[in-house]
Structure 1
Amino acid sequence: MTPLKPILRALTLVGGIAGILAVGWSAEYAPRWQPLRQSLQQSTLPFGMLAYGAKGKILRQLQSIQVLPNDELSTNPSNRRFDTTRAIVNKKTRSGIQVYGLDSTTPEELPSSSVMSQAMRNSSPAVLSLAIAQSDLSDPDVGLLTNSDAKGRNWERPAFLSYFEQSKLLFASGVGIRIHGGVARDAPKKSFRVYFRNIYGATQFAPRMLFDHQSDPVLLFVLRSEFETAGVFANSLAYDISRQIGAFAPYTQPVKLFINGEEQGVYILIEHINEGYLRAHFGHAQFLMAQSAVWAKPDSGSSQQYQQFVAWATDRSPLSMSEAAQKINLDNFVRWLISVIFCATPDALQGPILLDLTQPDAKWFWVNWDMDHSFAVTNLNAAEHAWEEDIFDRFYVREDPRAYLYHRLRLGSAEFRTYFSRVFVEVMNHRLTDAFLRERQRHYAELAEAFGYDAREFNEDVANFLTHRKAVLREQMNTYFATGKSFPCLVQSPAGARVEIDGYPEQSGYLGWYFEQTPITLSPMETDDHTFSYWLINGKETHHERILRYAITAPTVITAVFQEKPE
């Protein structure tokens, strides 16, 4: 009897060869493959082929391609030379893109530039124009606006971007566009993410142009809309305050946005927390990064390592400050807490958690994110006056490790309560000075006027908030951290002489507020003309030592007495 297995192997081999020949014949002659053959002979490719196929890879390596949205875009006669045959794609999954040589195209010729009249360019100090195929916006099946809940790379659409300052075109490129946000996806005005990839053109925004030159390389940014009555600058102001406190927060800047030549109003460009942000602010991108939530999977790094941290953080047992300091950056954690408490951010448990993988003893830390509800500008806040909002009790133990850590440390560690109180006093007295807060409030009032944005009500509300917030927080600190009452301390010194207060050089006339458990520390700063003699406390000569550490238990005036040096 002939063995069965060799026969089956032979039949399989013959069948396989026949199958390959059949596929080859089909690809060469069958009508269904005609579009594919044509696409390989033309300058028009499906997105998937350009992104992942061999031909697309070669073109990208040669840097000889640029992306053009589908031909519904071109209503301006100057753009019609780009109107080649539309790419052949599965309409249900991906829009097509077209390619053409970069050498023959100038930034002014890109659709996002040519669609902009001089009046549009002159309309605001900074203008951003996007040009995108109308089908990629509003098609029922593949449009971004009509499928605003859809996420991921499959819902990124090719577009063009042009950026103008003082009406001058400074940068233009092909880009990728996605819808951005959580609940904002359901708002009438959408927010967007803008991606820079070599498949579209530039791999980053032009250096030293955005975000006060603090954020290069810019590989991705968010275009944030004003989707509530909150005031478009609330997020930006909260980020400025957070960075002044010492927390990490993105940089922002306003633009007037146009899409296909239609004005969309004032939007805010925001750094996105991605590889570019990490390189710009930390010098490298080797971080474990995850959304700060107990259920999150890291965007980069070990999922097991993050879950081990979550298990430790969410344990219900008492936690000492020294134990916490072995795992988390306590200074960052406390300054994040103070930033969201001061800004009255009701939905504060947002943003990423990171771990530097290049450091063997690295500690977990956080970056502030999405603070648009700050300053009690929305109905998420319940206090009668915005500045009275109590955020200390908003850290619900649910999904974020920070909430667990906050309650475990506040309730279980007297050392942490003292440490938190000391940093709070430092921030309120030396970082969030009245001068700083007034300057930031004026800055955004002036920006609103320059962009033609009616922010009068918001500016008035914020001015009142910033005026009253510190006093309310000092009372709330006693409720949650048992600090006792706070008292003012005025420090005086002769003209030309300066005193270092709590490690900060200050002028005569400094006024700070202190709890009994957070004493003031003073040290005279020698000058060419003065030498220190002694301290007066409430008019009494009591201390001759140079460094004075004094508990403030009542309203106090401290005077640094100097003598002029003999000539």
Structure 2
Amino acid sequence: NKILGFSEDCGINIYGNQSATSTQKPIAVKFKKDYGVSKIDYPLFPDFPVTTFKSFVLRNSGNDFPYTHIRDAVMQELVKDLDIDYNEYRPAAAFINGEYWGIYNIREKINEHYVANRHGVDPDNIDMLENNMNVLHGDSLSYQRLIDYMSTNDMATDAAYTYLDSVVDLDECILYFAAQAYYDNMDWPGTNIKFWRERSETGKWRWILFGLDFGFGLYAHGPSEDHIQFMFSPVETRYSNQPWATLFQRKLIENPIIKNRFVNQIADLLNTNFKSTRVVGIINSLANHISSEITKHRNRWGLGGESLNKMTAFANERPAYLRTHVRNYFNAGLDGAITLNSSSGGEIQINTIKLAEKDLPWSGTYFVNVPIEIKAIPNKGYKFDGWTGAVESDDSELSLIVSRTTNLSASFSIDSSSANDIVINEINYNSSNNFDTGDWVELYNKTDASIDISGWYFSDSDDNHKFIFPSETIVNSKEYLVLVENDSAFTNRFPEVNNYLADLGFGFNGAGELLRLYNQGNQIVDSLTYDDIAPWPIEADGTGSTLELIDAESDNSVG
């Protein structure tokens, strides 16, 4: 669009191993005060919250350079909404000294500043290692202690699990290895592996997802490749799975809790992020984004390219193969189908997947020999009543073995003990002529938790006057929501206010009336009857003042 983003003197160098042998060399870009500035403040990745960078790289797509140019980017995009240290991506047309240089993929540089940007830690207070404990930052002492423990202790015990949980971010670690199993990244784990921890008493090891371009069906490696056998092999079957490279994950799954979590994590991903339709959609989206430039890029470097057929075939066929590999290696059993549903008033968590009301009913596929963990989570103002279907129980958390077909439903109901968590805090029932904002009422959440008031309704003295709150209406802790009768009159006077819902549909009586707030169960949450005479303040009747609680905890039914 010919709008300058930034222009700075910087240092550059060719980087990479195999990728550096390509005709289009990958380039690392670094900012130092010696060059001009020590960092740039610019949104290299528009949807990414980090906008300050001390370095970045211009990647040529690595092993995928002659082919689709999006392999690694697709695999990163598939999991970027999860709690994993992935690598951001933005394609750019490059020119060097005015000469067209093709498409480069702008990527975060994986170093201590990457960690600092993402986790808010001191970049000088981390350990970062790669491959066979090669030190990139800090030292390897903590990780060596971890490996020594795993090599000399019975990893199947509860004590071993407790130890691992204290030094490893198990959620992220298990997710990382599960994703690699799906991607079939054959240039890993003996290479392209980096991991880090904060140097503190509570610091835990996390793994960084990068260098994935050897996966997703590159070369002759199709969707049927058994990456489970590959990544857990005690003997070297390829240059990238030497015994030292598989030791950590081999010892990890000796613990039955972690083994089950790993199996279920793969199933969770296949039911959500790795569903074929979603994966194909992301492939097409990223390919379309560079479609106007890719032919020019290939002509510049004399590349034949590759259609998307191989990647989309991988996306469609990989789930069934991976389930078979998991079933065979872990004796996980046949596929079992589960369907979850609930009444309104809560959400369900199955393993790592949180299902809001709008996601239900929901169906997924799991393994009949591996128990799944299910939890019912009532919304604020509701309580959990029990499960019906495959299990009849009032325990909110279940460990369940699925059958070939399992149906389970959670029941929630209004918790009467939560009445008055949302209060009517301020009323404007008769504006002054000089400051007419229309009628409005302000609600306040006085609790320490967000409250979903979707489906609740607000009414006045007339039962026919009913404003129903739309879906996904959330009032956060200690925050307000205004219901507005006249949108234009209100925003004219309060343009800075955005926490409001317009089109209330009715105004308030200037002589006083009853106002009521009901939850989904048609139970009263808060109500009051105001008046325009004492003891209610008469200044609120047409003089420009409003009726407002001095203290949200006080009784709003008393003038």
TM over 0.5: yes
* Aligned twin of 2:185: 345
Instruction: Number of aligned residue pairs: give it.
Output: 388
Picking from 99, 102, 125, the partner of 1:265 is: 102
Partner-residue secondary structure (3-state), 1:476: helix
Q: 1:545 to 1:329 in 2, by over 3 A?
A: closer
Shift, 1:338, TM fit: 0.7
* Aligned twin of 1:408: 251
Given that 1:341 and 1:392 are in contact with CA atoms closer than 8 Å, whether structure 2 keeps it comes out as yes
State the percentage of identical aligned residues. Answer: 17
Letter in 1 for 2:348: E
* Aligned twin of 1:554: 404
Partner-residue secondary structure (3-state), 1:213: coil
Shift, 1:531, TM fit: 9.5
Picking from 36, 39, 43, the partner of 1:201 is: 36
Write out per-residue CA displacement over residues 398-430 of structure 1, whole angstroms, 9 at most, x where no aligned residue. Answer: 6685510112233x3333312322333333334
Shift, 1:168, TM fit: 1.7
Given that 2:56 and 2:109 are in contact with CA atoms closer than 8 Å, whether structure 1 keeps it comes out as yes
* Aligned twin of 2:132: 294
Shift, 1:306, TM fit: 5.2
Write out per-residue CA displacement over residues 288-307 of structure 1, whole angstroms, 9 at most, x where no aligned residue. Answer: 444423362x2221355555
Given that 2:283 and 2:312 are in contact with CA atoms closer than 8 Å, whether structure 1 keeps it comes out as yes
Partner-residue secondary structure (3-state), 2:91: strand
Letter in 2 for 1:484: G
Shift, 1:561, TM fit: 7.0
Shift, 1:511, TM fit: 1.5
* Aligned twin of 1:100: none
* Aligned twin of 1:229: 66
Shift, 1:218, TM fit: 1.2
Partner-residue secondary structure (3-state), 2:323: helix
Picking from 211, 229, 233, the partner of 1:370 is: 211
Partner-residue secondary structure (3-state), 1:171: coil
**Could you tell me how far apart the structure 1 residues matched to 2:377 and 2:258 are?**
30
Letter in 2 for 1:500: I
* Aligned twin of 1:173: 8
Given that 1:355 and 1:364 are in contact with CA atoms closer than 8 Å, whether structure 2 keeps it comes out as yes
Partner-residue secondary structure (3-state), 1:479: helix
**Could you tell me how far apart the structure 2 residues matched to 1:401 and 1:365 are?**
18
Q: 1:347 to 1:279 in 2, by over 3 A?
A: same
* Aligned twin of 1:428: 270
Matches within 5 A, 1:310-459: 311-312=148-149, 315=151, 318-320=154-156, 321-322=160-161, 323-349=163-189, 350-357=192-199, 359-379=200-220, 381=221, 386-395=222-231, 403-410=246-253, 412-433=254-275, 436-453=278-295, 457-459=306-308
* Aligned twin of 1:285: 123
Picking from 348, 356, 364, the partner of 1:500 is: 348
Structure 1 residue 483 and structure 2 residue 332: aligned? yes
Write out per-residue CA displacement over residues 367-398 of structure 1, whole angstroms, 9 at most, x where no aligned residue. Answer: 1221111201224x2xxxx2222111223556
Q: 1:293 to 1:316 in 2, by over 3 A?
A: farther
Picking from 349, 371, 374, the partner of 1:521 is: 374
TM-score (norm 2): 0.61
Given that 2:79 and 2:273 are in contact with CA atoms closer than 8 Å, whether structure 1 keeps it comes out as no
Shift, 1:316, TM fit: 7.0
**Could you tell me how far apart the structure 2 residues matched to 1:287 and 1:354 are?**
11
Shift, 1:498, TM fit: 6.3
Shift, 1:443, TM fit: 2.3
Partner-residue secondary structure (3-state), 2:257: helix
Partner-residue secondary structure (3-state), 1:170: coil
Partner-residue secondary structure (3-state), 2:6: strand
Write out per-residue CA displacement over residues 94-153 of structure 1, whole angstroms, 9 at most, x where no aligned residue. Answer: xxxxxxxxxxxxxxxxxxxxxxxxxxxxxxxxxxxxxxxxxxxxxxxxxxxxxxxxxxxx
**Could you tell me how far apart the structure 1 residues matched to 2:146 and 2:388 are?**
51
Letter in 1 for 2:394: E
**Could you tell me how far apart the structure 2 residues matched to 1:308 and 1:510 are?**
43
* Aligned twin of 1:79: none
**Could you tell me how far apart the structure 1 residues matched to 2:60 and 2:53 are?**
20
Given that 1:429 and 1:513 are in contact with CA atoms closer than 8 Å, whether structure 2 keeps it comes out as yes
**Could you tell me how far apart the structure 2 residues matched to 1:422 and 1:221 are?**
35
**Could you tell me how far apart the structure 1 residues matched to 2:178 and 2:332 are?**
15
Letter in 2 for 1:521: I
> Structure 2: which 5+ runs fail to align?
235-240, 299-303, 414-519, 524-559
* Aligned twin of 1:472: 321
Q: 1:434 to 1:295 in 2, by over 3 A?
A: closer
Given that 1:230 and 1:372 are in contact with CA atoms closer than 8 Å, whether structure 2 keeps it comes out as no
Relative to total residues, which structure has the larger helix share, 1 or 2?
A: 1
Partner-residue secondary structure (3-state), 1:173: coil
Shift, 1:182, TM fit: 0.8
Letter in 1 for 2:248: L
Q: Deviating runs (4+, > 6 A) in structure 1?
A: 530-534, 561-564
> Structure 1: which 5+ runs fail to align?
1-165
Q: 1:172 to 1:415 in 2, by over 3 A?
A: same
Letter in 2 for 1:551: I
Shift, 1:211, TM fit: 5.6
* Aligned twin of 1:33: none
Given that 1:205 and 1:218 are in contact with CA atoms closer than 8 Å, whether structure 2 keeps it comes out as yes
Q: 1:209 to 1:344 in 2, by over 3 A?
A: same
**Could you tell me how far apart the structure 1 residues matched to 2:141 and 2:380 are?**
57
**Could you tell me how far apart the structure 2 residues matched to 1:344 and 1:289 are?**
28
Shift, 1:434, TM fit: 5.6
Shift, 1:476, TM fit: 1.2
**Could you tell me how far apart the structure 1 residues matched to 2:188 and 2:82 are?**
16
Write out per-residue CA displacement over residues 15-58 of structure 1, whole angstroms, 9 at most, x where no aligned residue. Answer: xxxxxxxxxxxxxxxxxxxxxxxxxxxxxxxxxxxxxxxxxxxx
**Could you tell me how far apart the structure 1 residues matched to 2:362 and 2:245 are?**
35
Q: 1:189 to 1:311 in 2, by over 3 A?
A: farther
Q: 1:402 to 1:295 in 2, by over 3 A?
A: closer
Shift, 1:341, TM fit: 0.9
**Could you tell me how far apart the structure 2 residues matched to 1:194 and 1:400 are?**
35
Picking from 171, 181, 185, the partner of 2:20 is: 185
Shift, 1:534, TM fit: 6.8
**Could you tell me how far apart the structure 2 residues matched to 1:492 and 1:279 are?**
41
Q: 1:289 to 1:204 in 2, by over 3 A?
A: same
